[in-house]
Structure 1
Amino acid sequence: MATEGNVMLADGRRMTYAEFGMPDGHPVFYFHGTPSSRLEPLLIGEATFTRLGLRIIAPDRPGIGRSSFQPQRRFADWPADLLALADALQLDTFSLLGHSAGGVYAAACAACIPERVQRAVIVSGLWYMDQPQLLAQLHFLNRLGWLLARHAPGLLRLLLHRTAVSIGKDLSQMKHILPPADYDAFEYPGRYEAFGYVFREALRQGTRGTAWDMRLYMHPLGIRLEDIQIPLQVFHGGKDANMPIELVRATLASIPTATLTVYPYEAHLSTLCNRFDDIARALLEPRTRD
């Protein structure tokens, strides 16, 4: 079971986080996807983190789960919140793991606070989503969510609320939406049910925080990817239907320190679940300081 805690930030907001794995293991800040929450590491499992010697610390982003909403927040605001959490936990250095929509948050920290980061890893990362060539490749429901985030956030909030009612209950309804590798990953006992729990926890305070989180990806990211000077390891599935691999390659071309590992037959979630031993090795690799 996860343990949980709260940190009060300088502006009076509360940040809630969950911890998994070994309390004295290698510290890794885990940045969840969207719609998702601090409980997303449940999809991998406590036993895996413990076996690999990891201490996973997963914060809710503002307005999501139990963390306070932050008006007008940007990706560039996240490193300051992360530093406040790291200082509260007395962690001088740590690794970063951004999954899916958490990838840009990991990139922001790698660019802005490199002196505190041992290793930065992005798995199945999403980047700037308001690209016609990208949206045209997405499943209709996925594309609808992003378009509503850009043009009709009120309708997006309604869609999120309605989705929360059914998600995690009947996996068969997802068969026409998910790539086979992701569907197979969800068939692991208890994982799809946990996904529903994680999704609903994201909306604990309502839909405002998650809708704002999604909206950020439909505007310029506001961080300079070329400012990332520390090693950035990226893992991505060749069958990822949320962010096609060719667009990942195009984005990473602006990050001189990025290394891409592609699993040709994995998809969005399956890369995280099936390749976590590889991901852990990257997180644990010592960083050579300049």
Structure 2
Amino acid sequence: MSNSSFSSLIYRIIGKPERWHDDYIVDIMQQYLDEADTLDDPDNLMELAAGDQILSKINQGNVALNAFNTLLDKSRFQMIILDDEFNLVYHNRNASALLDYLCEPNAPESIKADLKRLIQQTPISDSANKQNALLALPYYDPNGDHIYLRSIRSQVKDHSSPTLFHILMVLDKSHASQRLNPDLVASYGLTEKEQDVLLRLVHGNSIRQIADAVFVSDNTIKSHLKSLFRKTNTNSQGTLISLILTHESQVLDSYFESDITTASAELNDQNDREIRLSDGHAITYCEYGPADGRPLLVFHSGFGSRLAAPPNAHEICQRLGRRMIIPDRPGIGKTRFIEGHPAQWNAQLNEFIDLLGLQQYDLLGSVIACQLTMSFAAQADQRLNKIILASPVFLNDYEDTKNLTEILAPAARYVRLSPEFAKEIYQLWLKSVTLNLDAHYPAMLETSVGTAEREMFERHGIVKLLTDVFKEGARQSLDGILNEMIFCMTPLHLDTEQFKKPIEIWYGTEDKRITEAGARAICDKFKHATLHIREGYSEHLYYALFEEIIQ
């Protein structure tokens, strides 16, 4: 399986991104990056050659596929995944015997004709099967156990990829003692005794057998069942089992018919505007504040930038007389990706400013978008008045990368070794974050919110805002953010003496992307820079201190 094919498969199948992120992206990739340092001094290697050595080693060792196997082999099910043409895509290790039984003897890549017909006759998730439930087929394995089916439509807009996947599953009895999914337990508030009853019920035990196994009366088990029916809004053992197994099988949901393609209804298009450039490309943007206010161009650092305005942005801009303009950069939000971005971005933004008729403006960059901000500012004309960097990540030389933390620290090392390799790794990381967004992304955001702004984030629902913004952007191409990541993790080597305009730098001491020493080092590079440090704020201080920052 090629690296790109594997990435595509992961995008559709992997669930539980916390484990995917921790076990694969961080541990395994860091291991190979560390080993790359021992191959030769990276300074003496062509960067592409170093990256090729690592990629080759990964491909030869099937490390990625082995990591995938490890995840799904821990599933409660024996799994066989088929594409829309009923070709075998994947099966976990425990399903080898099942696969032999279900496939045609003379065509090991094709399932039996009668099973294929049965699947074709079964409603899929976007028609009669509205709940995307796990369905028990009238088909059994050699042990007489039910074969379950989930047919899930992919939301990936890629004509070369399958549009529908069929997952055949049989409960793996060797995992009968495996505990229920913690998300399910938390969702329904299940007690330990209720979980025990459910597990035994799922694995085919009768009420009498469960009662005997746990040394209680039948009536006690029936009482637990009544409580389970009430909590799960079901009214029969069959419905309850179907609900539980559906939830347990959702390790496969990821990008299938999932919620990540639908942003909140609050993210409407009422503030969207569009300007078409002379080359035919259109830039989508949002505006806040009075049309005659002092213009502020914002470079946000993530998906859906036009939607990422802080709470009450319009009222604040009105009060301060600020005209805030947030353009979507190519491939990020509604502006279509342009091959080679961000190489042409400075010229495109200059034309964008001309078409808006701006006679003067300030620039605001946030986190890694500070790199794009400074690149543009270096060639801007006299209309630029001031530069504002919030949670600054500015790399002018390789020494600056030493001040990066968390995901940006290894990212900068990947880019130095090989931009191609870095893009592959960052793509997998982004996709791991994108999967099961409602469960994973808010938790990730909350860990990076500083103590000073936490109450404000909760009061204004900023974590939900950022999650919805990420959803809106995630359905677009990843090319924009991937290319920008490579650009933003590559030192600019600008002549800092050329910057004559004032630069305001805002930093929170609990920032998760760069150290305080790094923020001070950035300030020291420029003669006209002022550093504002706030205790406790994270890289989200752009939201928390918005009014103070843009004055």
Query: TM-score when scaled to structure 1?
Result: 0.82
Residue-by-residue CA offset, 1:207-258 (whole Å, 9 max, x unaligned): 1111111111222225433321111111111221211121122123222221
Local SS of the residue matching 1:268 = coil
Aligned counterparts of 2:448 and 2:361: Cα–Cα separation in 1: 36
The whole-number CA distance in structure 2 between the counterparts of 1:42 and 1:168 is 20
Q: How does 1:234-273 map to 2 (within 5 A)?
A: 234-269=505-540, 271-273=541-543
- Aligned residue runs from structure 1 range 132-281, under 5 A: 133-135=402-404, 137-138=405-406, 143=409, 150=419, 151-167=421-437, 171-172=442-443, 174-181=445-452, 183-221=454-492, 223-269=494-540, 271-281=541-551
1:103 to 353, 370, 383: 370
Give the alignment's Cα RMSD to 1 decimal. 2.8
Rate the CA distance shift 1:154–1:44 in 2: closer, same or farther, 3 A: farther
Q: Distance in 2 between matches of 1:52 and 1:31?
A: 20
Aligned partner of 2:326 among 51, 58, 66 = 58
Q: In structure 2, do the counterparts of structure 1 residues 265 and 180 end up closer, same or farther at CA, with 3 Å as the change threshold?
A: closer
Deviation at 1:53, TM superposition (A): 2.0
CA drift of 1:49 comes to 2.2
Following superposition, the deviation at residue 154 of structure 1 comes to: 2.5
Equivalent residue for 1:72, pick from 318, 334, 340: 340
CA contact (8 A) 1:237 1:265 kept: yes
> 2: distance between equivalents of 1:173 and 1:78?
30
In the alignment, is the contact (CA less than 8 A) between 1:168 and 1:194 conserved in 2? no
Change (3 A) 1:57 1:10: same
Give deviations 1:99-149, integer Å, cap 9, x for gaps: 2222223223332114011222111121229766334x42xx565666666
Count of residue pairs the alignment pairs up? 276
Q: Which residue of 1 aligns with 2:106?
A: none
**Is 1:119 matched up with 2:421?**
no
Question: Corresponding residue for 1:29?
Answer: 297
Deviation at 1:23, TM superposition (A): 2.8
Q: Identity over aligned residues, as a percent?
A: 25
Counterpart in the other structure of 1:6:
274
Structure 1 gaps, min length 5: 282-290
Matched residues in 1 for 2:321 and 2:532: separation?
23
Pair 36,225 (structure 1): closer, same or farther in 2 beyond 3 Å: farther
Contact preservation (8 Å) 1:169, 1:193: no
C-alpha contact (below 8 Å) 1:13/1:69 kept by paired residues: no
Q: Is the 8 A contact 1:237 1:262 kept in 2?
A: yes
Distance of 1:43 and 1:106 partners within structure 2: 23
Task: Determine the C-alpha separation between the residues in 1 that align with 2:467 and 2:375.
Answer: 28
Find the residue that maps to 1:88 and give its secondary structure: helix
Alpha-carbon offset, residue 185 of structure 1: 4.5
SS state at 1:188 partner: helix
Q: Which residue does the alignment assign to 1:288?
A: none
Match of 1:287 in 2: none
Partner letter of residue 459 of structure 2? Y
8 Å contact kept, 1:96–1:121: yes
Query: Displacement, 1:57?
Result: 0.6
Per the alignment, do residues 144 and 279 of structure 1 end up closer, same or farther by CA in structure 2, a change over 3 Å counting?
A: same
Please tell me the residue identity of whatever aligns with 2:529.
A
Counterpart secondary structure, 1:63 = coil
SS of structure 2 residue aligned to 1:113: coil
Report Cα offsets for 1:23-48 as digits up to 9, x if no partner: 33221111101355221114563322
1:30 maps to amino acid: V
Q: Give, in whole Å, the separation in 1 of the partners of 2:340 and 2:490.
A: 13
Larger RCO (CA within 8 A; separation ≥ 6): 1
Contact 2:310-2:543 within 8 A present in 1 as well = no
* 3-state SS in 2 of match to 1:180: coil
Q: Contact (CA 8 Å) 2:342, 2:483: kept in 1 or not?
A: no
Give the aligned residue type for 2:533: V
Residues 508 and 538 of structure 2 are in contact (CA less than 8 Å); yes or no, is this contact kept in structure 1? Answer: yes
